[in-house]
């Protein structure tokens, strides 16, 4: 088959009016197309490395489709589902848009534009796909299986996207060709198996948890008369550590409810319980309802069997089948229902705070909606605090609560631009991460005076992680430099099993203060950790390599900074001479703080929260304010 294809394409290439488009869903497909490419061809999609001279490369990210065109349809889609599954189902709408609509939409819109451009020039277009799928069906990509900001694929893109893209070709009268022999599509089986396997696993987990004693939270006597000024909610150790320094230095009396994530149960409470003091109290959300969770999963399982007519959802005139995405959201719904029930129970037990305010560290997730919905139900206002990187993309429900508080003025401008319908709800009142506790002298003494470098891995740039760790391992052996590696929460220690000489720190293994006391310098990709490094005055190398480097937002990127690394070979001189980086880091930090007009200080943030509540129409006074 491949030999016939070579003959066919080479013969066609002799006619000036025939143009070829090769659709590459993954890096491996780019390598498959490479021997066939010649001047005048177009590669659409993902390619590892560069294409030959004269070949145009168009990525799906450049298609111009970001989901904004279908937001009304998504809201109508979820409005219909809410009537059957309840109001909490709306919480999935933002992630559904990013993970199930935008990826396939970018390919549909991008390929359509590439074909249209060539046809307007009078060319006859042929589109080449990596392989043909027999018995292919239209279905949605797995809900949450692909997040464009993460860039991690957990499924075969081509199996899901090809039927839609081939319809794009048919509508335009374009010849479709395939490079590989026919492959039997088994999506009907894998979709079914995935859904029921995840459901069974969650039922098993719920039954196991139901056999353990339920956490009652702390005793009612401990809460009686506490008179808290405000309440906050977190679900992960990272969220708790982000907000704690500000809350402890704000002068507020604060109670923090500690939830948990499905994959890291117990970690938040284990880390946070040591933080209690007279004006700062942490409480685990009472784990009531666990005995009913298995039944909730079973009930949703029965709903999976019911056939339903979903609202029509289209991208560029191509109808999308979202049944699989809906099934997977149904499987996750019971966990969200239990979380909301526990949040409501905790808020009721705490009584009304002096400030009718709930601070949520969730940003756009289903749990962010649960926080905001429950707060509003109980007469509280809800402010969402940005505590990690979030891409500025159109969303059907950008701000669930009253306000979304971003971490810099650069992000304020970015989010207001893409969320014009709620731009007034996006505010910058200060940078919560800028409130940094004083370092523990004992931890600093233990670290010693010699430079120690910490590499923060990426969840996206997997190959670059390995390349950097190889360099660090070699330098440790040859030049006795000291390194530690902090794994991203979605990174896997097993990937680095061949480097036993390096110290790896998993997420949640150390408290943030202890972690940052372990090193003097850092290596990181552009991410939220850069803010931590700036405010803790840790010089760093900023890695700008990898297939996603061109797609990154440039909030932290300053090409004048010596520490920006565009070639990994440039790392070594700076690793060997850390003092060279120190002076340049101070200049970078000052430029960054000035350009972003960063506001710091717990007292400033305290007054800002009070002012925002006043904007909500509330006359606010707090104990201790003159």
Task: Give, for 230, the enclosing helix (H) or strand (E).
Answer: strand 230-234
The string of DSSP codes covering 472-489 is HHHHHHHH--EEEEEPPT
CA separation for the pair 498, 480 (Å, rounded): 19
Q: What is the 3-state secondary structure (H, E, C) of 436-457?
A: CCCCCHHHHHHHCCCCEEEEEC
5, 177 Cβ separation under 8 angstroms: yes
- pLDDT score, position 407: 87
Residues of the chain with pLDDT under 50: 1-15, 142, 144-152, 216-217, 219-221, 224-225, 551, 626
User: What angle in degrees, to the nearest 10, is found between the helix axes of 323-350 and 71-85?
Assistant: 70
Quick one: tokens of 363?
């940003």
- pLDDT score, position 206: 64
Q: Distances from the Cα of 438 to the Cαs of 80, 177, 238, 443, 513, in angstroms?
A: 52, 64, 18, 11, 9
Quick one: tokens of 220?
């009612």
Quick one: tokens of 548?
């996603």
Length of the chain: 626
- pLDDT score, position 606: 83
**CB under 8 Å, gap of 24 or more: what pairs does 79-84 form?**
80/310, 80/311, 81/310, 81/326, 84/308
Beta bridge partner(s), residue 564: 542
Tokens 């896997």 map to which residue?
492
- pLDDT score, position 188: 64
- pLDDT score, position 7: 30
- Give per-residue pLDDT as tens, 604-625: 788 888 889 888 876 555 555 5
Domains assigned to the chain: 2-76+96-186 (no CATH), 220-285+351-433+605-615 (3.40.50.2000), 441-595 (3.40.50.2000)
The string of DSSP codes covering 490-516 is T--GGGGTT-TTSEEE-TTSS-HHHHH
322, 77 Cβ separation under 8 angstroms: yes
Of 240, 244, 241, which is closest to residue 258 (Cα–Cα)?
240
310, 326 Cβ separation under 8 angstroms: yes
27, 46 Cβ separation under 8 angstroms: yes
SS3 at position 287: coil
Of 75, 174, 61, 183, which is closest to residue 130 (Cα–Cα)?
183
User: What angle in degrees, to the nearest 10, is found between the helix axes of 157-171 and 102-120?
Assistant: 30
CA separation for the pair 252, 250 (Å, rounded): 5
């Amino acid at each position: 088959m491949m030999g016939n294809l070579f003959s066919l394409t080479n013969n066609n290439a002799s006619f000036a009016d025939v143009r070829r488009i090769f659709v590459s869903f993954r890096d491996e497909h780019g390598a498959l197309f490479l021997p066939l490419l010649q001047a005048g061809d177009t590669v659409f999609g993902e390619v590892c490395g560069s294409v030959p001279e004269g070949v145009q490369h168009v990525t799906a990210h450049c298609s111009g489709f970001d989901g904004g065109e279908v937001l009304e349809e998504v809201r109508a889609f979820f409005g219909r589902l809410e009537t059957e599954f309840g109001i909490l189902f709306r919480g999935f709408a933002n992630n559904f848009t990013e993970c199930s609509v935008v990826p396939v939409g970018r390919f549909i819109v991008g390929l359509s534009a590439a074909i249209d451009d060539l046809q307007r020039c009078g060319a006859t277009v042929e589109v080449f796909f990596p392989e043909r799928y027999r018995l292919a069906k239209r279905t949605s990509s797995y809900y949450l299986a692909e997040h464009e900001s993460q860039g991690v694929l957990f499924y075969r893109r081509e199996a899901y996207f090809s039927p839609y893209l081939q319809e794009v070709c048919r509508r335009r009268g374009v010849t479709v060709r395939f490079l590989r022999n026919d492959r039997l599509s088994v999506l009907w089986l894998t979709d079914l198996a995935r859904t029921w396997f995840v459901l069974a696993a969650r039922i098993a987990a719920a039954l196991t948890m139901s056999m353990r004693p339920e956490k009652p939270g702390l005793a009612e006597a401990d809460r009686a008369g506490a008179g808290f000024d405000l309440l906050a909610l977190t679900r992960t150790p990272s969220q708790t550590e982000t907000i704690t320094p500000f809350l402890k230095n704000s002068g507020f009396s604060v109670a923090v409810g500690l939830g948990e994530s499905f994959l890291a149960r117990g970690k938040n409470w284990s880390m946070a319980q040591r933080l209690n003091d007279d004006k700062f109290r942490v409480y685990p959300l009472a784990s009531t309802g666990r005995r009913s969770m298995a039944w909730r999963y079973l009930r949703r399982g029965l709903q999976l069997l019911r056939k339903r007519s979903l609202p029509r959802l289209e991208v560029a005139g191509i109808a999308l089948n979202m049944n699989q995405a809906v099934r997977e959201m149904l499987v996750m719904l019971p966990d969200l229902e239990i979380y909301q029930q526990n949040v409501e129970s905790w808020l009721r037990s705490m009584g009304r705070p002096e400030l009718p305010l709930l601070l949520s560290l969730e940003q756009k997730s289903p749990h962010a909606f649960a926080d905001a919905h429950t707060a509003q139900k109980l007469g509280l206002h809800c402010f969402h605090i940005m505590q990690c990187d979030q891409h500025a993309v159109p969303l059907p429900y950008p701000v669930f609560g009253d306000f979304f508080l971003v971490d810099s003025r650069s992000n304020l401008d970015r989010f207001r631009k893409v969320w014009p319908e709620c731009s007034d709800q996006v505010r910058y009142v200060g940078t919560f991460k800028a409130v940094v506790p004083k370092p523990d002298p004992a931890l600093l003494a233990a670290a010693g005076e010699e430079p120690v470098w910490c590499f923060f891995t990426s969840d996206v740039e997997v190959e670059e992680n390995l390349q950097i760790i190889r360099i660090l391992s070699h330098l440790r052996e040859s030049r006795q430099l000291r390194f530690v590696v902090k794994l991203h929460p979605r990174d896997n220690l097993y990937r680095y099993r061949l480097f036993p000489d390096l110290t790896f720190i998993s997420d949640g293994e150390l408290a943030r203060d202890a972690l940052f006391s372990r090193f003097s310098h850092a290596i990181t990709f552009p991410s939220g950790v850069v803010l931590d490094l700036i405010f803790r005055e840790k010089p760093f190398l900023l890695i700008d390599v990898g297939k996603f480097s061109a797609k990154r937002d440039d909030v932290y990127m300053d090409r004048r900074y010596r520490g920006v690394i565009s070639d990994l070979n440039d790392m070594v001189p700076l690793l060997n001479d850390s003092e060279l980086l120190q002076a340049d880091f101070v200049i970078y930090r000052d430029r960054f703080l000035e350009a972003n007009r960063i506001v710091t200080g717990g007292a400033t943030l305290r007054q800002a929260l009070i002012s925002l509540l006043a904007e909500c129409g509330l006359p606010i006074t707090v104990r201790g304010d003159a």
